[in-house]
């Protein structure tokens, strides 16, 4: 068993309120959940209008598969929203027993 973990930081300069931010994030989170079998949630920068950090995880029996799924999620998020720019992305696959 391998656990893939990804942290993506998004910059959203067009947002003028937390309501705008939540609207963008809800769209991203719902679409990623619907397309990929991953867990995703906002993990940092909860009260900052222009920034969001998303945590994404998946479990797989293959190290490469977990890494591939997370890479596809990152690519999908980059292509999905033009009003949310990916500033930073960290991917780690943790080998299990």
Task: Quick: pLDDT tens for 32-68.
Answer: 999 998 999 999 877 778 889 999 999 999 889 999 9
Tell me, rounded to whole angstroms, the distance of Cα 89 from its chain centroid: 9
Q: Give the C-alpha separation, 75 to 50, whole Å.
A: 21
Tell me, rounded to whole angstroms, the distance of Cα 6 from its chain centroid: 7
DSSP state of 78: H
Contacts of 82 (CB under 8 A, 6+ apart): none
Residues 14, 64 contacting (CB under 8 angstroms): no
Domain residue ranges of the chain, discontinuous segments joined by +: 2-95
Tell me, rounded to whole angstroms, the distance of Cα 49 from its chain centroid: 17
pTM of the full structure: 0.85
| CATH code of the domain occupying 2-95 | 3.30.70.1120
């Amino acid at each position: 068993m391998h656990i893939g973990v990804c942290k993506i930081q998004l910059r959203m300069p067009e947002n003028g309120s937390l309501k705008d931010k939540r609207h963008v994030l809800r769209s991203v989170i719902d679409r990623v959940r619907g397309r990929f079998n991953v867990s995703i949630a906002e993990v940092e920068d909860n009260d900052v209008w222009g920034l969001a950090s998303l945590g994404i995880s998946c479990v797989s029996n293959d190290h490469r598969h977990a890494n591939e799924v997370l890479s596809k999620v990152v690519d999908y998020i980059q292509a999905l929203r033009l009003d949310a720019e990916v500033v930073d992305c960290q991917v780690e696959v943790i080998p299990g027993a």
